[in-house]
Amino acid sequence: MWNAPHYGESATSARIRFSMPQSMSSPSLSIHTDTLPNGLTILVEEMPDVRSASFALLVPAGSLYEPTGKNGTASALADWITRGAGKRPNRELASALDRLGVQRDEQVGWNFLTLSGATIADNLAPTLDIYRDILLEPSFDEELFEPVVSGVQQSLLAQEDDLQRKTIVELRKRCYDLPWGRPTDGSLDEVELITSDDVRQHFRRCVVPQGAILGVAGNVNAKAVIEQVRQLLSEWKGSAPPVPKATVAPWGTLHVPHESTQTHIAMAYKAVSASDPDYYAAWAATSILGGGSSSRLFTEVRENRGLVYTVYASLNTLKTEGRVFVYAGTTAERAQATWDVTVAELKKLSQVITSDELERCKVRAKSSLIMQQESTGSRAAGLARDWFHLGRVMSLDEVRHHVESLTVTQVAEYARTHGPEQLTSVTIGSEPLKTSV
């Protein structure tokens, strides 16, 4: 298994997506694009060889736009908004979607709240009818608000025991400016302060068509889908919320004391954004560093030295910037050696990249592309994310072209000019480490 670049929205975005120069040819004719007068962008890819259809609707209601001191508002909205809509109360709404065989999901990212679903192609139209009610006429039953907040709290409590995740959450706070460093799931000390009025206000201000993106992929007729969405959502109104002002990230080193036989180590350093021409090289360099069982970190830190039980590197990007995240889980006794060897591998990356390493990256990428060709859910989400990050949609053939075009010289030059000179780190364990670079 390999580590794909991550667009920084939701877990489903951890897949191969590459930016491309504007001089490249336009997307394939199977991808249709339309923008409604209210600002909603519709992207449809016809996939006649499949039997399913999927959609991903991104609305600008992510954690960036939560009120100060109320981290978790977006998570509460993601749950509450689907507990009854239009003439259907909570259970009737869930039953209606179940009868259509909809596999649905609600995810909160930094920029967007994403409503997604997959079903057989014939059931897409009635499914979209129901989601029209969810967007325009959610019930917001006050009796269901307490269970919604309780669900968010229980999820956060469960995550408190996941120290690997907690290490990455704390790392993000230190390497991305706020509110981009804010946890998307919420914060335990702030969730209890959220009121039902806070969530309703977040809905009114942020669940709007301007800035929203709908991706649809599957065995569908694009013109018919676009016409249906036009009819369903023509009355949807609202302007996108303003982008919040940034508070500069602290960077540096943080140690979180925790009495345990294990130590969790996370590091981050700057990388390029998804729209940068060097993004392909950034992906390849990160993959060579820590993207699978043949990567340098896995080979040297785990296999050769036996220092860790897990180690990896991943590329995480926002619209205008990116980071390389590195994580290692080890024992307290091996923690310092793990840090030292891992940092040494980060520095070595800029010294040489071999053709064998790059070829392995390309093979893994091509395998992932084949799987994406068979997944309508993956394509629907990819359409929407491409539009947000790049302002256009890429076909999988274009992605394949850029993978195959990568050269050792390109990747080596990127690694040389984008090293870990400014490194931030978070460790959780019994003792702090000597974290010089």
Q: So where are the chain's domains?
A: 12-233, 253-429
Which pLDDT band holds residue 16 (cuts at 50, 70, 90)? very low
**Is the model's pLDDT at 19 over the cut of 60?**
no
Cβ-Cβ contacts under 8 Å for 359 (sequence gap 6 or more) = none
Q: Which pLDDT belongs to residue 6?
A: 44
Q: Which pLDDT belongs to residue 399?
A: 83
CATH topology of domain 253-429: Cytochrome Bc1 Complex; Chain A, domain 1 (3.30.830)
**Is the model's pLDDT at 28 over the cut of 80?**
no
- Which of 118-127, 348-357, 367-376 shows the lowest per-residue confidence on average (mean pLDDT)? 367-376
**Is the model's pLDDT at 194 over the cut of 80?**
yes
- For 365-422, what is each residue's pLDDT tens digit? 877 777 767 789 999 999 999 999 999 998 878 888 888 999 999 999 999 999 998 9
**Is the model's pLDDT at 2 over the cut of 70?**
no
Q: What is the mean pLDDT of residues 343-365?
A: 92
**Is the model's pLDDT at 357 over the cut of 80?**
yes
Q: Which pLDDT belongs to residue 5?
A: 43
Q: Are 61 and 207 in contact (CB under 8 A)?
A: yes
- For 29-58, what is each residue's pLDDT tens digit? 589 999 999 999 999 999 999 999 999 999
**Is the model's pLDDT at 14 over the cut of 70?**
no
Q: Which pLDDT belongs to residue 29?
A: 53
Q: Report the mean per-residue pLDDT for the chain.
A: 91
SS (H, E, C) the chain: CCCCCECCCCHHHECCCCCCCCCCCCCCCCEEEEECCCCCEEEEEECCCCCEEEEEEEECCCHHHCCCCCCCHHHHHHHHCCCCECCECHHHHHHHHHHCCCEEEEEECCCCEEEEEEEEHHHHHHHHHHHHHHHHCECCCHHHHHHHHHHHHHHHHHHHCCHHHHHHHHHHHHHCCECCCCCCCCCHHHHCCCCHHHHHHHHHHHCCCCCCEEEEEECCCHHHHHHHHHHHHCCCCCCCCCCCCCECCCCCEEEEECCCCEEEEEEEEEECCCCCCCHHHHHHHHHHHHCCCCCHHHHHHHHHCCCEEEEEEEEEECCCCEEEEEEEEEECCCHHHHHHHHHHHHHHCCCCCCHHHHHHHHHHHHHHHHHHHCCHHHHHHHHHHHHHHHCCCCCHHHHHHHHHHCCHHHHHHHHHHCCCCCCEEEEEECCCCCCCC
Domain 12-233 has CATH 3.30.830.10: yes
The letter for the amino acid at 142 is: E
Q: What is the mean pLDDT of residues 288-300?
A: 94
- Which of 12-16, 136-140, 178-182, 206-210 shows the lowest per-residue confidence on average (mean pLDDT)? 12-16
Domain 12-233 identical in fold to domain 253-429? yes
